[in-house]
Amino acid sequence: MKQLYIDGQWMAGAGVTTTRSPSDRSDVIAEYASAGAEQAALAVAAAHAAAPAWGLSGVQQRADALDAIGTEILARKTELGTLLSREEGKTLPEGIAEAGRAGAIFKFFAQEALRVRGDRLASVRPGIEVDVTREPVGVVGIIAPWNFPIAIPAWKIAPALAYGNTVVFKPAELVPGCAWALAEIISRAGLPPGVFNLAMGPGRVVGEAMLNESRVNAISFTGSTSTGERVMLACARRRARMQLEMGGKNPLVVLADADLDVAVNAALQGSFFSTGQRCTASSRLIVDEQIYGKFVDALAGRMAALKVGHALHQGIDIGPVVDSSQLEQDLSYIEIAKGEGARLVCGGERLRRDTDGYFLSPALFADCEPGMRHAREEIFGPVASVIPAKGYDHALALANDTEFGLTAGICTTSLKHATHFKRNAKAGMVMVNVPTAGVDYHVPFGGTKGSSFGPREQGSNAVEFFTTVKTSYTSA
């Protein structure tokens, strides 16, 4: 059984979780310890005790540890990517790429640890100097989702450690294997006991313990909007720092002047790859009515060639849905869309394969109205809605007509429209002629409106969340 990692030691939990592959329910991955309230409290206490010394540690020590973690992840990316694909359901190329991205993130923040900047200014009062410096927040609770089970933990854990914070990491219950593998690598990187702690277990136990614990100074959360709101309220009550990445209902605008092949590829990749289980997925395709029929036909043709199947098999484009609950949600929204009068162009059926898995053919709905539930609510599956638009201005208005604002895309050959869209799309990230899903690790990640709250993740901007600013005055 794979154990918890608390205060530099591997230990048993209060229970055991057995995980199975969504590609083949007979494939048992492993048994993992599940933390109870006692283990969660031990993890917080360990992180709290280690925080003062780690916060004053040398930047070279932090950089060396993070670089070692990144190096090992990259050396083992095929092994880790295979585990990821087996456990979460991404295709093997996607799983290996995600593991590689996690390694690159740790190596990036190894260097960022050496670049924590401050300012020295002259005071308005003669003979006094002013220093502005950054210090770690303290204990950071990290609550990660299942859809990117190595990359998202990496882009939270790496900056937390780089800037001198200690960590209590609670992964999603569906993907303890990826979390344990990452923790096992981190455990051998030379960090002092208590600096990093892995507390696998249910949110109602481990998550609640972190949210309500005064010794946890900050929470970095990625997950559903409803859970994010609970995190926000809990942190606000005790004035803890929070960083929330939540839902998305991202638009991809296709104008009449777009290169059709580019637009179809952007829609195909953004809407359906990774089984549509990405907060950045383009689930609303807003298409100029002049090319509406041509676009729908072309996209449907490309979808017909997609191969859905076991995540580890060669030639597979789309793996299974992550579990039975998510599959039921996807199928429920497909029925809702039919009931609302949307036209099912293709897909939307439960598929049978040689193994017992959660396979679903990607669904494309056309002739959708912007007020339809399936076109407004996040489904988090391989389901896309095509909405007709009467020119650019109408398309922009439709794109912004959502409670979310994570990412927005446009396909056009017009520099004028591309420039205007980048400035006026109400989203934290804007894509021009590329899929909405797919971002770099060295630049800020985050959205507006109901998608995000707090400082941005990733890149140099991560310093804003994981540090506090101190201003010091010295009389010469």
Of 144, 174, 173, residue with least CA distance to 158: 144
Helices of type H across 5-58: 37-55
Q: Is 92 exposed, middle or buried (0-12, 13-18, 19+ CB in 10 A)?
A: buried
* Rounded Cα–Cα distance for residues 293 and 307 (Å): 24
- Per the annotation, the verdict on 31 as an active-site residue is no
Phi, psi of 161 (to 5 degrees): -70, -40
Any catalytic annotation for residue 279? yes
Q: Which of 178, 279, 368, 411 is catalytic?
A: 279
Select which of 94, 245, 378, 457 is catalytic: 245
Single-letter amino acid, residue 357? G
Residue 38 has which token pair?
Answer: 């006692």
User: What beta strand segments (E) does 4-148 contain?
Assistant: 4-6, 9-11, 15-21, 24-34, 119-122, 128-136, 139-143
Cβ-in-10-Å burial (0-12, 13-18, 19+) of 414 comes to middle
CA 91 to mean position of chain CA atoms: 17
Residue 150 near residue 178, CB atoms below 8 Å:
yes
List the catalytic residues: 245, 279
